[in-house]
Amino acid sequence: MIDVSGLRKVYQDRGREVVAVDGVDLHVREGEIFGVLGQSGAGKSTLLRCVNLLERPTSGTVSVAGQELTGLKEGELRRARQRIGMIHQHFALLSSRTVAGNVAFPLEVMGMAKAERVRRTAELLELVGLADKAGAHPAQLSGGQKQRVGIARALAGSPPVLLSDEATSALDPGTTQSILALLKRLNRELGLTILLITHEMHVVKSICDSVAIMRDGVVEESGTIPELISRPGSRLAAELFPLPEPEPGQVTITFTGQAGEPVVSQVVRKFDVDVNILGGALEEVAGLSTGRLRLLVTGDERAAALTYLAGRGLLVEEAR
Amino acid sequence: MTWEEMLPLLLESTGQTVQMVLWSTLFTVILGLPLGVALVATDRGGLFPSPALNRVLGLIVNIGRSLPFIVLMIAILPLTRLIVGTTIGTIASVVPLTLGAAPFFARLVETALREVGRDRVQAAQAMGAGRVTIVGKVLLPEAMPGLVAGLTVTVVALISYSAMAGAIGGGGLGDLAIRYGYQRFETTLMIVTVVVLVVVVQLVQTLGDTVARRLARN
């Protein structure tokens, strides 16, 4: 649905060149929620702005819903943008307009007739649960309500794609959760493809199907979440389950979805080994129960026991 | 001087001041608003970036602002004659008043528009809005409280400038205070004139503040 390839963005800052995005490829499939995770300054915001060409990439191509955007003329680009929704960290609502006026704004831009606009606006406010706030001004709303208006506005033209620029970073945890739930619901009910950027692992954990981890303008790893967690040396797994650096000889096992199986006791029963659990963490990620255990395995059949674990579909990493 | 003698003078002068200020306010907005929008739009990173044009506009505004009003008034006499047909009188003074206030107002417009910030402009761009739409439907409406506040300051400045219009026969309250109050030692008239000016300025400021506040509450 969204294809970014070889994207580079270089800024001129007082004569110096600053590389914000350094050759990024992204492939966001239709109907998925794709998260770009990174610290501030990692270049993820620039990357997102390059997707709807708010920032012009220095090189590389961007295509959304099969249309390549980088080659479009201004008028064509404007029409293409009407098919890409966007929500913002600080909401970016127009304070001079009511809630309904804000939602109607993109419809005015599209040139929709007044009666049709009124009908569609009511429908959108209903969708985000703000039908009773149509006449209020943004200043009278809470942060969560403002973001709901932002979402209604972004979806005005029924775009297949939504870009989310740190949409929950300015909200408290409870409100964040309700906005994430709304995004997930829209993703499911409307088949909306969502590309979001965030610095919060929590957001990725709650709603993302796929993730790209970005650092210094480069994507360090990307893929679906189960894929990444079961990949050796995964940064996602390391950040999701913060365990101390392993000492030589210690074993870390990562499991995705097999939490129901008593693998540790099976190993102890089948092989002549002792297992000492040093640490562990469990998380519900992308609807899967996943976790990591740090083990100290000792005994004559240690090697066979580890092979057995790997054979059960677990990721077994041994520190040296 | 008795009240019977003062009243017609006061009425006539107040009328002249109101006339000068109203007309020059109108033309100041017509000239200064687009100029202020242009200053923001042509800036680097603006909607119509053009650094060269931006520098030229900035220079024009700065020249207009650095001339003392009384000097500007005399300096542009030929232009005033070209536009109005005469260089003296209330209507003739509207030309220098406008040219004196427009650059000032343009800077205030510029400041008010910059207050809107990039996020709302970018949000509109992300929705596919064109640049003219963004100026008309985002920048100007969002900056409205600041624009009204700027206009209020400009009107007050115009009232003060208009006191100097007496120098080219423009009349008005300032002129009355100088000719009768100062040159003929009519202290009472002087005081009454000053009181009228204070009241007018106060009214304008209160009205402007009220409107700006009502707009900002939204």
Banded pLDDT at A259 (limits 50, 70, 90): low
Burial A260-287 (b: 16+ CB within 10 A, else e): eeebeeebbeebebebeeeeeeebebbe
CA–CA dist A102, A87 (Å, integer): 13
For residue B65, the tally of other CB atoms under 10 A from its CB is: 15
Q: Identify the band that residue B55 occupies on the pLDDT scale cut at 50, 70 and 90.
A: very high
Which residue, among B10, B23, B36, B12, has the nearest Cα to B161 in the 3D structure?
Answer: B23
Q: Residue A258 has what pLDDT?
A: 60
User: Which of B113, B125, B127 to probe the A interface (max A CBs under 10 A)?
Assistant: B127
Phi, psi at B37, each rounded to 5°: -60, -45
Core vs surface per residue B141-155: b (16+ CB within 10 A) or e: bbbbbbbbbbbbebb
Query: B218 is written with which tokens?
Result: 């939204």
- Which chain B residue shows the shortest CA-CA distance from A141? B218
pLDDT band of B96, cuts 50, 70, 90: very high
- Chain A residues touching chain B at CB-CB below 8 Å: 52, 54, 77-82, 84, 86, 88, 90, 92-97, 105-106, 108-110, 137, 139, 153, 163
ipTM metric: 0.84
Distance CA B98, CA B79 (A): 12
How many residues would you count in chain A? 320
Instruction: List the single best residue of A95, A108, A146 to mutate versus B (max B Cβ within 10 A).
Output: A95
Is the per-residue pLDDT at A260 higher than 70?
A: no
Lowest-confidence pick of A103-117, A139-153, A286-300, B31-45: A286-300
Chain A to chain B Cβ contacts (< 8 Å)? 61
Average pLDDT in the A240-263 region? 80
| C-alpha to C-alpha distance for A222 and B72, rounded to whole angstroms | 66
User: A116: exposed, middle or buried (C-beta count within 10 Å: 0-12, 13-18, 19+)?
Assistant: exposed
B94-107 core/surface letters (b: 16 or more CB in 10 A; e: else): bbbbbbbbbbbbbb
- Chain B partners of A109 at a C-beta cutoff of 8 Å? 124, 127-130, 133
Query: Looking at residues A81-95, what average pLDDT do you find?
Result: 95
> Angle B121-B124-B127 (CA atoms, 0-180°, nearest 5)?
155
Task: Quickly state the pLDDT bin for B4 (edges 50, 70, 90).
Answer: confident
Which pLDDT band, with edges at 50, 70 and 90, does A233 fall under? confident
- CB B150, CB B115: distance < 8 Å: no
For the stretch B115-140, pLDDT in tens is 998 899 999 999 999 999 999 999 99
The answer to which of A166-170, A260-264, B1-5, B131-135 has the lowest mean pLDDT is: A260-264
Which pLDDT tens digit goes with each residue over B139-190? 999 999 999 999 999 999 999 888 888 777 788 888 888 888 888 888 888 8
Residue of B216 and A36 predicted with greater confidence: A36
Q: Look at residue A129 in the predicted model and tell me its pLDDT.
A: 94
Given a cut of 90, whether residue A57 has pLDDT beyond it is yes
Contact A78 B120 (CB under 8 A): no
CB A146 within 8 A of CB A138: yes
**From its phi and psi, is residue B134 left (phi > 0), alpha (psi between -120 and 50) or beta?**
alpha
Lowest-confidence segment of A99-113, A141-155, A277-291, B203-217 by average pLDDT: A277-291
Tokens matching residue B155:
């009107």
Which residues are CB-neighbours of B15 under 8 A, at least 6 positions away? Answer: none
Of A52, A80, A95, the CB nearest to B218: A95
- For B5-33, what is each residue's pLDDT tens digit? 889 999 999 999 999 999 999 999 999 99
Residue range A16-54, pLDDT digits in tens? 888 999 999 999 999 999 999 999 888 899 999 999 999
